[in-house]
Amino acid sequence: MTRYHHPLAPTPLRVGLLAALLAAPVAAKPPVYATPAETAFVDALMAKMTVEEKLGQLNQPPGVGNNTGPAAMAGNEDQIRRGEIGSYLGTQGAALTCRLQKIAVEESRLGIPLLFGYDVIHGHRTVFPVPLAESSSFDPEEVQHAARVAAVEAAAHGIHWTYAPMVDIARDPRWGRIVEGAGEDPYLGSVLAAARVRGFQGEDLRKPDAVLATAKHFVAYGAAEAGRDYNVADISERTLHEVYLPPFKAAIDAGAQSIMASFNEIAGVPMHAHRPLIQDLLRKEWGWDGLLVSDYTGVMELMPHGVAADREQAGALGLRAGVDVDMVSQIYVKDLPAAVKAGRVPMAEVDASVRRVLNAKYRLGLFDDPYRSCTPDGARERALTLTPEHRAAARRMAQKSMVLLENEGDVLPLSKSVRTLAVIGPLADHRRAMLGNWAVAGREEDAITPLEGLKAALGDKTRLIVAKGADIDSQDTTGFADAVAAAKQADAVVMFLGEHPDMSAEANNRTSLDLPGVQEQLALAVAATGKPVALVLLNGRPLSIGRLKGKVPAILEAWFPGVEGGPAIADVLFGDVNPSAKLPVTFPHNVGQVPIYYAHKNTGRPPSEQEKYTSKYLDVPWTPLYAFGHGLSYTTFRYDAPVVSKKTLVASALQQQVSVRVTNTGKRAGEEVVQLYVRDDVASVTRPVRQLRGFQRVALQPGESKVVTFTLGFDDLAMLDDRMQRVVEPGTFTVFVGGSSDRTREIGFEVADR
C-alpha cells in the first residue's frame, strides 16, 4: 500500500521536533506535553470538525475479532466513512486493519486515521507467562523485553494500542484478575508497571513497532470487596494513595500514553464518573495529558450503578469526569450530539477529549503514516510472528518465573538418566493451560505442553508412564488407581496439578483457594507411595496447599507459563536452569486468612503465641503458608549482617547506603533475588511492619561472595503524615535484607531533625 501523508500532517521539521521529545531516555520519561507543532496541527483539524465528527473520535465499537464482554453491534464501514468511529476494540490482522484504515483515511471527509486497540496482555501470538508469573521473576529488564516482543508482534498485526499493563495491586487471591497484575506490593508493582510501559511503547512512539500502553484499571479495582469482580472498593484515602495509586504514577512517569478507568466505585462514586481522581489528580496534580479510555461499557454502566438515569446522563457524567473514549456502548456518538448542540453538555468538555484522542494519533505518527503495518501480502506480519528469537525470550521468561516452594530431601533437580518417570495429572498435556487466560491472539497449537517438554528433554532412554489421575475440577476418583500404579512402577514422579486457565481471569472468582476437584487427594495418594514426587503447579493465583506440605517433598510453582512452558518446566526440573523466582504475592494456609499480605500493620495487640487476647486464629497460624518474596534454589545462600553507611542521617541529606555480603554456600551456581525492606519504627501515623524498597538479582558460583549495595533516599523513607503530606519524620528506621520478606537480617539507623 502506498505511503500516505495527511494534508495537515507535520512537515519533516515538525516530525523531528516530536521525535526529539519522545526520544528522551526510556528509563525516565516525564508526562508528555503537546509540542507547539502538535497543538497547531490538532487545532487546525478540530476547526474543521462537526459535533458529530468530534464525538465520533470518542467512539470505540467492538470490531471483528473482539471476544470480550457481552455481544454488541460492530461498527460498520459506513460509520467509518461518516467519521463516527475513532478507534476499534479487538480488531487485529494487517489485512483487515489496513482495509479499514484505507476507508478512514481515503473515504471519510477529514481523513482521520483509526486507532486499533487490542488486549495484548502477556504476549501476542508468542504468549509469555501470565503477568503474575512474570512478576515472580523480580527482573524488570526481562519483563520489559517481554513487553517489547509483544509490541513488535502486535504492531505488525495492525495494532496501535494495547490495554496493558494491568497495574492493580491485588491482596485478595479470590479475585480472578489477580493473574493479570504484579501481585500485592506497590513498590514491585510500580517497578514492573514502568518496565512494561517502556517495553510496549519503545523509545519512539512513531516507530512502527511501538504501541500505546494503557495502565489499568484506574483505580483500586484490585480492592473489590469479597474478591468479586466489578464490586465496590471501600478503601480509605490513605490506602488509596499509599497502595493503589503508586503503580499508576510510575506508569505515567515512564511515559504511559493511556489509562483505563475501572469498573468499581470508590466512596460512592463510580470511577467512570470520578472527576476528582481523573481530572483533578491525574490531569492537574500529576500533569498527565494522555488518553483515558473507558472499560467495556463502563460509561453505560453508570446507569446500573445508580448515578445516571439514562444514556445521555451517563455520557455527560463520563465526559465531564474526563473519560475520553467510550468503549462499546456508543453513548457518546449516539446520545450526546443533541445534548451538546442544546448546551446540556459543554462543547469545551467534548473538545478536551477530542484533542487527547487526536494527540495520541499524532504521537503515534498516524497522520504521517497510517499504513505502518501494511506490507504486500502481509510480509511484515509473517516475518515478526513467533520468531525463534521471540520463542527463546518466552522460554527464558518462563524459566525465570518459576518459584521453587519446597524441595525436601533435594528431590529436585531430577536426573536425566532416570530410567522410569511417572507423569501424572490432568495438566500434564493440557495445551491451553500453557497459554493461561487473556492470551487473546494465542493459539493452542503454538504451545508446548509439559509432557512434550519432558519427552524432548529425556529422549528415548527414559520410560514415561502417563496417568491423568483425575480431571481438573471433577469429583471422580476412579483414575486414582492408575495414577498410584504408575507411581509405584517409576523411579520418580512428576505431577501436574492446578487450575483450568478459565478459573483465573476476569469474572472468574473463587471462594476456595484449594486445588479444584479431587486433585489434592490425588497428590496425597501418589505421595503415599513413598516415591520421590515433584509437584508442578499450573495456576493463576495463590493456592492453599498447606495439606500437601510435608507430604509432597518438592513443589514448583510454574503458573501458566506461555507457549514455551513445557520446555521451560523441563529445564527447571532437570537442573539445566536453577530456579530463582520469588513470590510476588502471599500464599495463605486457607481462604479464611484472606486478605493476608506481608506489609500489614501491627495492632495494639500484635499476634503472640503466649498471649490469648492477641490478633490471631484458633485453627491455623496467623502467618502465611509461603511469604511474599519466598523462593528456594537448588543451592543455598548466606547473608552476612547488613551495614549502613551512616548511623545518623540529617533531613538535608537523606541518602543512606545499605550493603550486605551474600555467599553461595551450595554446590551449584545460582541467582538470588536480594530483597531490602524498610520500617519506620515510630511515626505520627501507624506504618506497615516492613515495606519493600529495593531488590537486586545477583549471580553467584559455588563458594562465591558478592557485596550488594542499595541506596535509600527521600522516597524510600517517606510517608504520608496525618495531613496527607509526604514527609520523612525524624526517628529510627529498621532495614531488613534477605531472601524473602520473612527471612531477613536487620540493622537500624536514625534520621535527625537537623
Query: Distances in Å between the alpha carbon of 311 and those of 69, 308, 314, 326?
Result: 19, 7, 5, 12
Residue 610: pLDDT band with limits 50, 70, 90: confident
The pLDDT tens digits for 185-211 are 999 999 999 999 999 999 999 999 999
| 711 burial type by CB count under 10 A (0-12 exposed, 13-18 middle, 19+ buried) | exposed
The pLDDT tens digits for 588-605 are 999 999 999 999 999 999
Q: What is the enclosing helix (H) or strand (E) of 750?
A: strand 743-752
The pLDDT tens digits for 516-545 are 999 999 999 999 999 999 999 999 999 999
Q: Which of 204, 253, 295, 369 is catalytic?
A: 295
The pLDDT tens digits for 396-436 are 999 999 999 999 999 999 999 999 999 999 999 999 999 99
| 496 burial type by CB count under 10 A (0-12 exposed, 13-18 middle, 19+ buried) | buried
Q: Which three cell numbers stand for residue 629?
A: 518474596
Q: DSSP letters along 411-438, please?
A: -PSPPTT-SEEEEESTTTT-HHHHH-SS
pLDDT at 76: 81
Q: What is the DSSP letter of 223?
A: G
pLDDT at 335: 98
Q: Which of 436, 430, 506, 534 minimizes the C-alpha distance to 472?
A: 430
Helix (H, G, I), strand (E, B) or coil at 337: helix
Q: What is the mean pLDDT of the chain?
A: 94
Residue 609: pLDDT band with limits 50, 70, 90: confident
Neighbours of 240 (CB within 10 A): 18
Percent residues over pLDDT 90 in the chain: 92
Give the up-direction half-sphere exposure of residue 523: CA atoms within 13 A in the CB hemisphere: 30
CA distance 193 to 182: 8
The pLDDT tens digits for 466-492 are 999 999 999 999 999 999 999 999 999
pLDDT at 49: 98
Contact 229, 175 (CB under 8 A): yes
Residue 31: pLDDT band with limits 50, 70, 90: low
CA distance 494 to 510: 27
The pLDDT tens digits for 653-687 are 999 999 999 999 999 999 999 999 999 999 999 99
Angle, helix 519-527 to helix 480-489, in steps of 10 degrees: 30
Q: What is the enclosing helix (H) or strand (E) of 656?
A: strand 656-664
The pLDDT tens digits for 73-98 are 345 899 999 999 999 999 999 999 99
CA dihedral 222, 179, 155, 393 (to 10 degrees): 140
Q: DSSP letters along 721-743, please?
A: -TTS-EE--SEEEEEEEEEETTE
Q: What is the pTM of this model?
A: 0.94
CA distance 624 to 234: 24
pLDDT at 715: 96
pLDDT at 70 over 50: no
Percent residues over pLDDT 70 in the chain: 94
Contact 259, 218 (CB under 8 A): yes
| Residue 677 backbone phi and psi in degrees, to 5 | -120, 150
Q: Look-up: residue for cell 476494540?
A: 89
Q: What is the arithmetic mean of pLDDT over 336-350? A: 97
Contact 443, 562 (CB under 8 A): no
pLDDT at 22 over 60: no
Contact 272, 296 (CB under 8 A): no
pLDDT at 364: 98
pLDDT at 376: 84
735: left (phi over 0), alpha (psi -120 to 50) or beta: beta
Name the CA radius of gyration of the chain, rounded.
27
| Residue 543 backbone phi and psi in degrees, to 5 | -115, 145
The three-state (H, E, C) secondary structure of 478-500, written as one string: CCHHHHHHHHHHCCEEEEEEECC
Higher-pLDDT residue of 17 and 669 is: 669
CA distance 626 to 680: 24
Q: Which of 35, 33, 658 minimizes the C-alpha distance to 286?
A: 33
Q: DSSP letters along 78-97, please?
A: HHHHTT--SEEES---HHHH
Contact 402, 558 (CB under 8 A): yes
CA dihedral 190, 193, 194, 195 (to 10 degrees): 120
Q: What is the arithmetic mean of pLDDT over 629-646? A: 98
Measured between its terminal Cα atoms, the distance across the chain in Å is 67
Residue 652: pLDDT band with limits 50, 70, 90: confident
CA 186 to chain centre: 12
Q: Which of 750, 596, 743, 578 minimizes the C-alpha distance to 669?
A: 578
The pLDDT tens digits for 285-310 are 999 999 999 999 999 999 999 999 99
pLDDT at 67 over 60: no
Query: Distances in Å between the alpha carbon of 293 and those of 68, 135, 146, 641?
Result: 16, 25, 24, 49
> What totals of helices (H) and strands (E) does the chain contain, helices first?
24, 27
pLDDT at 65: 56
pLDDT at 227 over 60: yes
Query: Distances in Å between the alpha carbon of 79 and those of 53, 83, 104, 311, 358?
Result: 10, 6, 9, 20, 18
CA distance 87 to 85: 6
Residue 580: pLDDT band with limits 50, 70, 90: very high
Q: Look-up: residue for cell 510480509?
A: 379
Residue 651: pLDDT band with limits 50, 70, 90: confident
CA distance 471 to 295: 35
Q: What is the enclosing helix (H) or strand (E) of 259?
A: strand 258-261
Contacts of 722 (CB under 8 A, 6+ apart): 684, 685
Contact 299, 335 (CB under 8 A): no
CA pseudo-torsion sign 451, 452, 457, 462: positive
Helix (H, G, I), strand (E, B) or coil at 659: strand
Indicate if 295 belongs to the active site: yes
